[in-house]
A and B are shown apart, each in its own frame.
Chain A
Amino acid sequence: MLIKDAPVIWDSLRSIICVYKPPNVTCQRVRQTIITAVCTGLNEMECRPPMDYVSIEGNPSTQLTVTVKPNLADHPLVVGPRYQIEDLKCSWSNYLGLHSSGVLLLGLRNGTKAAKLIRENRPTRSYRVSGRFGEATENGFKNEKVVERSTYKHIKHANINKLLAAMQASHQKEMFKSCGVDLQSQTAYEMACEGPIRPADSKLPVIYGIKCVQFEPPDFVIEIQCINEYETYLKSLIHEIGAKLRSTAHCTGIQCIRHSYFTLENALLRKHWTLQHIITNMEECIAIIDEHENLVKQKKAALQ
């Protein structure tokens, strides 16, 4: 690290970072780990020295001496390290559940505003969801007890593709219905001409694209491009696929591979959650945001 001054680095932490959230770790824990890593890294650098303490000693009736010493009341051993964990603000832009892994955007200090803007602009996310036919579990994920078993030999790749295409079409129809404008109006027609649009509601999951990329019975992997989704929704989606194909299915893994313009390439692995890597990552993220202004500021309802 070329800069040794901790206050300079602290001032420069004002944007978002892109982190790879490992599976079976909560978002809160990721946030705490990042905050701790940043604070310990800053405290190891050269921090502000103790302020000066002017002490006037001596007998007032004879001679008073004025000395300037470092103020022990400001010493790091007395008051604590300069950068405290409670002082660093950090918030996430999209929430990933316990079992999901993948791209997670965190905003540090002033970056919390950018993270909020990105979240409110509702960018699309891409997921790779893997599932397994033949068993249905209590919560739709592989860690719980199996509730139902069924055969899956009758399922072919073509069946899955047909089902997923039908799902995508029905979601597109719903999407137009929830655009917030009367369907019979001219505005709705103009919006439809531009292509897929963002829903007006922030609670309704909308799927823009769904495709089966791998099928080795009983395991299969689908890629979903969607908006407003949450972990339980994706698990129930897998369950629904199993039900529609006259079998049963449960989810074995969820991975967020893209969050608008941030992909897995930009994501920082757990072993790289140190101050130096976080700063380089922040610079990359700033470049991405500068390049694509619509991340932070929406001009149209159409999907870009």
Chain B
Amino acid sequence: MLRRLIKTCTVRTLGPFRPLSSVQKIENKISTVENSSEIIDPRLVSNSDNLNENPPESSVLQPCKEDISYVAPYLRPSFNFAAYVNKSHTLQQLLKLGVRLYKWEKNQEVPPYILQLDFDKDIKSYIIFLTDLGLQTEDLGKLIEKNPFIFKEDLENLQVRINYLKYKKFTDEMILRIVQDNPMWLSFSTQDIDKKLGFFQKSFSLTGNEVRSLTARKPRLITYDIEHIKLNMFVIKEEMGFTPEEMKQIVLQTPKLFMNNQHRILKTFEYIHKEMNIPLETIVKMPQVLTCREFRIKQRHQFLQKLGKLQFDTKKPNYISLITLVSGSDAHFATEVAGSSIHAFNAFLKTM
């Protein structure tokens, strides 16, 4: 397995791990040293070890009564967490939450930061804060995995951001949904979130309630890259030809469309509008079809064309709506919608 070599840890950050089995002794020393400095320099701690206080006359051949189980070489730099996980209480607790540690190895900055955290001191308070909001264990694991730098934020800042949402009349369920679905939300400052919500309100001319329902529906859209959203807006307004009111309907029905790749949705749109000759008004009523991949629509449309069962006029019998064309499995489509069999559909697919 090839993993990029991540230069993770210096001896300094590994210091807390060295005397791991004699935790009690360290705690005693920590309580004495705490008054002087917040960050405990492990070398300070180790200097007052029992080992150095041995009387100089004793020889190595005399039986030793002290507990020397913690004497071990320094932990060396490694390119994965597996080297430390058996000895680190913090990493083991994170494992219990279901965090996938191997995902962090890709980012060069995360492992050195995580390895110098202590579960009881740094992480626990955040977990208590998040479970107070209503997050379950699996969601906690997902959030920490996607956003490990949440532990860098001050707890007061996090509380301020939650209070801001409450002030903007978001209900508790909405706030829970936002934190569940968008792990990065809490890392944005209140001003940033305010700006982004304002951008959406202005560009799509949404009311307060609509902004709230949009955020609860797709929290990731609000913190998405603004340039990408502006590009998709351009594609939908200028290149596809929808009016601003129609674009507002689209964003409220399928917000995910603004996070999609514009080439992909443009290809689908071109096929639906030009080859299938579906007018814009029909597409606005069901914008989910624009999220479908072009080849799927093409396959089904051409199959119906071959059978002669195309009917997109609402007033005529055997009308097939765009949604029924696109949704459902192939078996369902072949039997219910096209009135044929799945074997005929598969045989048709092999001629494309």
Chain A positions within 8 Å of B, measured between CB atoms, are 20, 22-24, 53, 55, 57-61, 71-75, 77-80, 84, 86-87, 101, 255, 264, 267, 269, 271
**A59 & B67 in contact (Cβ 8 Å cutoff):** yes
Q: Which of A55, A79, A101 has the most CB of B within 10 A?
A: A79
**A264 & B80 in contact (Cβ 8 Å cutoff):** no
In the complex, A87 Cα to B346 Cα: how many Å? 32
Task: Please give me the 4 A-B residue pairs with the lowest Cβ-Cβ distance, nearest first.
Answer: A73-B82, A80-B102, A59-B67, A72-B85
- Residues A269 and B346 in contact in the complex (CB < 8 Å), given A57-B21, A77-B99, A86-B2: yes
Chain B positions within 8 Å of A, measured between CB atoms, are 1-2, 21, 63-69, 80-83, 85-86, 91-92, 95, 98-102, 295, 330, 346, 349-352
Of B69, B85, B92, B99, the contact of A59 (CB 8 Å cutoff) = B69
How many inter-chain residue pairs (CB < 8 Å) link A and B?
67
In the complex, A221 Cα to B50 Cα: how many Å? 90
Q: Looking across the interface, which residue of chain A has its beta carbon closest to that of B141?
A: A77
In the complex, A53 Cα to B95 Cα: how many Å? 17
Of A22, A60, A79, A255, the contact of B102 (CB 8 Å cutoff) = A79
Of B67, B85, B98, the contact of A73 (CB 8 Å cutoff) = B85
**B68 & A60 in contact (Cβ 8 Å cutoff):** yes
Give the chain B neighbours of A53 by CB distance below 8 A: 86
Q: What are 12 A-B contacts defined by CB distance under 8 Å?
A: A20-B350, A24-B295, A60-B67, A60-B68, A61-B67, A72-B92, A73-B85, A74-B82, A78-B95, A255-B351, A269-B350, A271-B330
In the complex, A78 Cα to B330 Cα: how many Å? 38
Give the chain B neighbours of A60 by CB distance below 8 A: 64, 67-69
How far apart are B161's CB and chain A's nearest CB, in angstroms? 29
In the complex, A23 Cα to B298 Cα: how many Å? 12
Q: Looking across the interface, which residue of chain B has its beta carbon closest to that of A69?
A: B86
How far apart are B191's CB and chain A's nearest CB, in angstroms? 37
- Residues A78 and B1 in contact in the complex (CB < 8 Å), given A61-B65, A101-B352: no
In the complex, A20 Cα to B64 Cα: how many Å? 73
Give the chain A neighbours of B102 by CB distance below 8 A: 77-80
